[in-house]
Amino acid sequence: ETSMRLILVLALLGGAATLAAVTRRAVQTSSGLLRGVRSRISSMGHVEKFLGVPYARAPLGQLRFALPVPIEEDAARRQLDTDKHGPSCFQPPHLKEVMSNLLDTDSTEMSEDCLTLNVYVPELQDAERLPVIVWLPGEGFDYAVARHFDGSYLALQGRVIVVTVNYRVAAFGFLSTLTTEAPGNAGLFDQRMALKWVKKNIEHFGGNPDKVTLMGRFTGSMSGSIHLASPIKERLFERAVLQSGIAVGDYVFDSAPLNVTSKLANAVGCQRDSIAGMV
């Protein structure tokens, strides 16, 4: 029974919605005044979608391998059209092609400016505060595309607000020099930054910040288990649903990350005498 429920959740997340755009609503957040789109999903009802919402500063230049930096305070004064997905984070092209064909969806646009999330909100009753599911995609720590998981059906079927998250993967997300230039695990800290954004802003969408469930499959699930075991005390979610993966073994942990970093630097012609120069 449990496995059937998990299969249903994945089907609800991955299903292609039959959409008919209707109207737009504006929601004030720390990222700006967001203008989403209200769409009809088959015969199930309407869902509001806020797509490509930035939750951290773009990890460009000196921030390329750094831990995520919060959005600027004055960003709240801007207005953003959030009616289409942002680009996915850079990942191996062959994996992107395989997964796009497997999931029958397109994810051709990639960028380093990719730290965005998507919010799916069902129709709300007066003063209603819905529970929240934060979905971490992940088909390996070098592949994760939030747009592959449309939260519309799950939001309507479960009466929940669904948030799907883009985060850095592969070298951009997990390269480490064990120094401040590239401390490592930036992708995990991206996820945590997204959870902080949800905690701070989800009430404006009709969500309950005290009823957040972290959810993922494979490396999304492994990431969730790491957040569960994290010594960081700030409580950003109440429960977690882990599907097909926990953080154990050599697949997850690397005791000598600098060796991998040096090999990568050699392969792309970036080997230098100093770590700072290499990064």
pLDDT at 245 over 90: no
Q: Which residues pair with 130 in a beta bridge?
A: 207
CATH code of 118's domain:
3.40.50.1820
Host H or E run for residue 162: strand 161-165
- Taking the CB of residue 197, how many other CB atoms lie within 10 A of it? 26
The pLDDT value recorded for residue 82 is: 97
Helices (H), 142-272: 152-158, 170-174, 186-201, 219-229, 257-267
81 pLDDT higher than 90: yes
Report the pLDDT value the prediction gives residue 233, as an integer from 0 to 100. 79
Number of domains in the chain: 1
Residue 162 has pLDDT above 80, yes or no: yes
Max Cα distance, the chain (Å): 62
What pLDDT shows up at residue 19? 47
Nearest-5° Cα angle at 175, 108 to 260: 115
Domain that holds residue 265: 2-278
Whether the CB-CB separation of 222 and 140 falls below 8 Å is answered with: no
Percent of the chain having pLDDT more than 70?
84
Residue 16 pLDDT class (50, 70, 90 cuts)? very low
Do residues 209 and 71 lie in contact, with contact meaning Cβ atoms separated by under 8 Å? no
Which residues have C-beta within 8 Å of that of residue 146, sequence separation ≥ 6? 85, 88, 116, 117, 118, 135, 137, 164, 165, 166
Q: 218 vs 23, which has greater pLDDT?
A: 218
Contacts of 110 (CB under 8 A, 6+ apart): 87, 88, 89, 90, 91, 96
Q: What is the pTM of this model?
A: 0.87
pLDDT above 50 (res 248): yes
Query: Cα separations (Å) of 98 from 10, 139, 167, 191?
Result: 18, 11, 19, 24
Average pLDDT over residues 242-266: 82
The token pair that represents 97 in the structure block:
């092609």
The pLDDT of residue 152 is above 90: yes
What does the pLDDT read at residue 18?
Answer: 47
Contact 107, 148 (CB under 8 A): yes
**Pairing mode of beta strands 116-122, 161-165:** antiparallel
For the cut 70, the answer to whether the pLDDT of residue 149 exceeds it is yes
Q: Which residue has the tokens 């009466």?
A: 159
- First-to-final CA distance of the chain: 49
Return the SS3 of 126.
coil
Residue 105 pLDDT exceeds 60: no
Mean pLDDT rounded to a whole number for the chain: 87
Tens of pLDDT along 168-199? Answer: 999 999 999 888 888 999 999 999 999 999 99
DSSP 3-state of 234 = coil
